[in-house]
């Protein structure tokens, strides 16, 4: 089985568990239109070519506590460097997005010596609905400067929702730190986007 077939299989498996297109996109680190294409692949309905996207398989990092810790330490080091250069404010809280972002954020928070917060992003296209919540089991970021952490910045929707959630809670987002940036941008909603790796299409 090739890697694309594995990705198609993962998309179908997540769909069968009841995840929405947006949730599958966040879980796989791809754009929502890529998820639609993956779910339709091999069916007669697919009459269009694959969307331009890059799948980032970071399983070899995420499946090892040591490697995940090293990645978190490297990300914390990058944030520390950017703060020292004055490119972003010193965070008072580190907040992780979703599942894998939360694990990475915990390591970054520990390395920076900051309190930890977690954000659950619901996503979707209906702007009238609540975009997500701040987990009440961890630090309340209200009236504090917050560093947002995630694994992959793809279409940027999860990060935009996280910024909105924090803004509505009275917190101030100072920067977003990710392992991989696929957006081709260095800011999201005017907030600095820091990454260890940047994927840029050369077209």
Whether 145 is covered by a domain: the verdict is yes
Higher pLDDT, 140 or 27: 140
For residues 100 and 168, state if they share a domain: yes
d(CA 49, CA 179): 28
Q: Same domain for 89 and 178?
A: yes
The residue ranking higher by pLDDT, 182 or 112, is: 112
* Domain co-membership, 98 together with 34: no
Query: Per-residue pLDDT for 198 more than 80?
Result: yes
Shared domain check, 105 and 161:
yes
What digits encode the pLDDT tens for the residues 138-163? 999 999 999 999 998 877 678 888 99
Has residue 203 been placed in a domain?
no
**Which structure tokens are listed for 16?**
């069968």
Residue 176: which domain range? 64-198
The predicted pLDDT at position 202 comes to 64
Q: Are 93 and 114 in contact (CB under 8 A)?
A: yes
Helix boundaries (H) for 93-192: 100-112, 157-169
Q: Give the domain CATH number at 102.
A: 3.40.50.2020
Tell me the pLDDT tens digit for each residue of 60-88.
888 899 999 999 999 999 999 999 999 99
Looking at the fold, whether 91 and 128 belong to one and the same domain comes out as yes
H/E run at residue 196: strand 191-198
Task: Note whether 104 and 31 are same-domain residues.
Answer: no
Looking at the structure, tell me whether residues 100 and 138 fall in a common domain: yes
Buried-exposed string 93-112: b where 16+ CB fall within 10 A, e elsewhere: bbbbbbebbbbbbbbbbebb
Q: What is the pLDDT of residue 178?
A: 95
Identify whether residues 120 and 145 lie together within a single domain: yes
Q: Are 28 and 11 in contact (CB under 8 A)?
A: yes
Structure tokens at 131: 């975009």
| pTM of this prediction exceeds 0.85 | no
**How many Å apart are CA 202 and CA 155, to the nearest integer?**
17
The residues with which 178 forms a beta bridge, in sequence order, are 150, 195
How many separate domains does the chain show? 2
**Which of the four pLDDT bands, split at 50, 70 and 90, describes residue 50?**
low
Shared domain for 99 and 44, answered yes or no, is: no
């Amino acid at each position: 089985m090739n890697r694309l077939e594995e990705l198609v299989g993962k998309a179908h498996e997540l769909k069968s568990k009841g995840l929405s297109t947006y949730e599958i996109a966040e879980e796989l680190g791809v754009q929502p239109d890529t998820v639609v294409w993956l779910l339709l692949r091999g069916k007669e309905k697919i009459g269009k070519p694959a969307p331009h996207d890059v799948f980032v398989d970071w399983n070899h990092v995420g499946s090892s506590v040591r490697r995940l810790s090293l990645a978190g330490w490297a990300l914390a080091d990058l944030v520390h460097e950017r703060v020292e250069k004055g490119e972003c404010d010193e965070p008072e809280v580190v907040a992780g997005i979703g599942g894998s972002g939360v694990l990475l954020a915990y390591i970054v928070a520990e390395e920076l010596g900051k309190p930890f917060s977690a954000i659950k992003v619901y996503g979707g296209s209906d702007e009238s609905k609540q975009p997500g919540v701040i987990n009440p089991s961890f630090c309340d970021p209200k009236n504090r400067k917050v560093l947002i952490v995630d694994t992959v910045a793809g279409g940027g929707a999860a990060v935009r929702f996280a910024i909105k959630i924090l803004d509505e809670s009275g917190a101030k987002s100072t920067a977003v730190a990710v392992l991989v940036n696929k957006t081709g941008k260095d800011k999201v909603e005017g907030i600095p986007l820091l990454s260890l790796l940047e994927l840029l299409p050369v077209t």
